[in-house]
Chains A and B, each alone.
Chain A
Amino acid sequence: MKFETAAPPHAVPVRGVPQIMRRVLLALVPAAAAYTWFFGFGLLINFVIAALAALVTEAAILKLRRRPTRRALRDCSALVTAALLAFALPPLLPWWIPALGGFVGIALAKQLYGGLGKNLFNPAMVAYVLLLVSFPIQMTQWVPPRMGDIDYRPLGFVGTLRYSLYEELPPSQSLDALTRATPLDTVKEGLRSQRTFEELRGLSLIGTFGGRGWEWVNNFIALGGLYLLYAGIIRWQIPVAVLAGLLVPAGLLHLLDSSRFPSPAFHLFSGAAMLGAFFIATDPVSAATSDRGRLVYGAGIGVLTYAIRTWGGYPDGLAFAVLLMNAAVPLIDRYTQPRIYGHSAG
């Protein structure tokens, strides 16, 4: 009897790329729900627009490159990029900004490097930074959380969609009334004008740990991150190193002068700390690959984020920190190779 031949191993692979990407999206669902609860439907609208733009861009460029399109669209990696970008964008935005973000992330940061797996920089962060420096006004239109004691009338789904599509607000609303600075921004500005962190803590936007509402979103992001750890999609080194890189300088400086340096908890539960630690820095394509390398890479992101937040020109620094460390990955990988079995050290 004759049989087919095939190279070993014959064991069936444990999982595929689309499954990993789908699980990353799934892990973001609780955080997305919390985000929508506190800050309105902007996240979902931005995600849909960014995702459409990302998918269309990916398909168009793959067609130009004469590569199979269907398979690439099914791998869900463009959706992950769109989701991370949507979390980074303010909820009130004209539609063309998330659309441009989706396009830039895929076209400039991913396909120009050769597509999935080839990009040096995290596509979502490239898109976010480009939008942030190009459209500083729109990109800082953050809204306060929907919480009882904050005097705030949020837009509903239709209102948010109308603003996104036509940049129209209901007659009784003005953009100034709707938008506020983020907690990170508030604290940064307040410290700059010689107020102490203790005073700023009393503001209605600041919660127990981080910004009000934001600390909840960050909690749910961390929950999703724990799921990714449990499912073996990410490993502990990068999130732990990012959080430690943020926590250690924040803790030391807060101990030295608690009035001028916000508490470490505030840093961990504000802005993009959790998203960065669990979902952005852990993007395997643009991260370091060895265990030691991941620790160096993550710590670099944490420390740089703290430095930019504390002494830099932007309230949050995670996106810049990630891109800077992305650039350092080849170097990190080179110097953190583990010792091969049976070879002496050095």
Chain B
Amino acid sequence: MLELTPDRRLTGGLRLLAHKSESTTEPILRGLVPPELILPLHQHGGNPAVPIVDVGREVAKGETVAAAGDMPSAAVHASSSGRVRAIEERLVPTGSRLRRSLCIVIETDGEDRRAAPSEPLGWPESATARIERIAEGGLAGLGGAVFPTAAKLAAVAGRCKALIVNGAECEPYISCDDMLMREAPEEIVAGALLMCDLVGAPVCILVIERDKPRAIEAIGAAARAAGDPRLRLAEVPTIYPAGGERQLVELLTAEEVPSGEFPSAIGYVCQNVGTAFALHRLATRGEPLTSRIVTITGQGVARPRNVEAPIGAPIGWLIEQCGGYRPDVARLIHGGSMMGYALPSDDLPITKATSCIVAAGPGEVRQSFEEWACIRCGDCASACPARLQPQELLVAAGAGDFARLEALGLDDCIECGCCDVVCPSHIVLTERFRAAKRAHAAHVRRLELSAESEERYRRRERRIEDAESRARAAQEALKAKLRADEAARREAIEAAVERARRRKSRNV
């Protein structure tokens, strides 16, 4: 097994206070059965799943309650046994934001009775059948973006240069991947090799940040034991956001993912270690994705640790399992402190996107600062992993200059938040760029609509013109006919007069 230690520096990025040791002292808490499950049908950027159960129905753990919708999509399974109490719209945390989604609400019976695995049990031979099985198994990327795994693997199958298995957990606070790598390295490596087979990747790079020595050791041992020549172990520097797909590809291969494309465009695919673990479970035991590891941490929680959370478990209930809140809890963050977003309440469910819940104390989160003017120090530009000029973007966003925003690469902003953290003027940059992206999208839509309506207007004008010219032509034809008739009549009269005259002269 070749060991890679990329010492290439990431462009930009930050060394942040990791806050990971708080949640890594205790092993993962397993076997939790919450009193209620709220299973969202729409947990990712793809299409929602379609419910196939009715209210009142008894379900077993692992039973499909909603089938994958139009691709890309992923099925949803009951994460414990119980009875469907309601199918209703709820607010749920997804990859990048809160979203309203239809949810199947299940009252659990505490028995955690597992459904018989779907037939046939074995891992299918053909790639198409495997992809289908992954979609049915409800697998989605567990790194945070929750892209349906089947779609992601299918996109790169047959032309994959390397499979990158992402254990570079760079966001502060999050330690779920670290703990999973420590506790289940063999499953992760086996799952990674299954993915390799599926996409035909010649190389499988297991990437871990240097601040996780125990995970490096565990995964390294498991990889050596597996003895597969495709496996590589890469230790990468602990720099946020090294764990982002685009940054990871740059760090490992010195290649850049083209603007607006996914890594698959240049033959790479990144999969989170949790996803590899889930795939292994699915392939060997026929178990669909019904739980994930979630880090529950922050100064506002009594016993920070990692839990194996059933998908759909209420966040407040999980925090109770970790000793409950401390009295000075200030903010509840879904994800890490850089890209995670604040939750308005704790009765929301854990979704496939929930890697971490930070119950933050008042001192550990940014308060709403008063801003100073930008002093053009350029710290933001130095920290930007996309090599943007946030200070220039700020000016263009303030002026609503969309052409300039486009030229400055607004759409290439990955919203990592590095610029906000280093800005000495405490300017809320990333949020402004998000707003500018929304405004830009609205602007583009407006332009399209106005182009459409202009086209519509042109067509109407042409139609009217055509009708008018046709009418004019008809009128002209009529007039010509009338003129011709008139001329004929006159000729006839003249001829008659002439005949009469001739008759007269003959009679004289």
Give me the interface of A with B, judged by CB distance under 8 Å.
1-17, 19-20, 71, 75, 77, 115-118, 235, 284-285, 287, 289-291, 333, 337-344
Contacts and interface: CB of A to CB of B under 8 A. Distances in A.
A9 B425 contact: no
**Contact-residue size bin, chain B (C-beta under 8 Å from the other chain):** 35 or more
Contacts, number: 171
B222 interface: no
Given A12-B421, A343-B409, 10 more contacts: A3-B332, A4-B342, A5-B341, A7-B341, A8-B340, A235-B378, A289-B391, A341-B387, A342-B261, A342-B412
Contacts of B261: 342
12 contacts: A3-B332, A7-B342, A7-B428, A7-B430, A10-B342, A11-B338, A11-B366, A20-B424, A118-B373, A289-B392, A341-B250, A341-B385
B343 interface: yes
A117 B340 CA distance: 31
B342 A6 contact: yes
Question: Could you say which of A9, A77, A117, A342 has the most chain B C-beta atoms within 10 Å of its C-beta?
Answer: A9
Given A339-B387, A340-B409, A342-B259, A12 B364 contact: yes
Contacts of B250: 341
Nearest to B363: A12
A11 B417 contact: yes
Contacts of A339: 387
A343 B337 contact: no
A314 B420 CA distance: 44
Contact of B325 (A1, A5, A7, A235): A1
Interface string B425-465: 11010110010000000000000000000000000000000
Main secondary structure of the interface of B (DSSP, over half): loop
A11 B424 contact: no
Contact of A342 (B257, B372, B391, B426): B257
Contacts of A5: 331, 341-344
B382 interface: yes
A12 B366 contact: yes
A2 to B, nearest CB: 5
B375 interface: yes
Contacts of A20: 375, 377, 424
B343 to A, nearest CB: 6
B50 interface: no
A14 B379 CA distance: 11
A9 B421 contact: yes
Contacts of A289: 376, 378, 381, 389, 391-392
| CB-based closest 8 A-B pairs | A9-B417, A117-B373, A342-B259, A7-B431, A340-B409, A284-B377, A5-B342, A289-B378
A14 B366 CA distance: 10
B164 interface: no
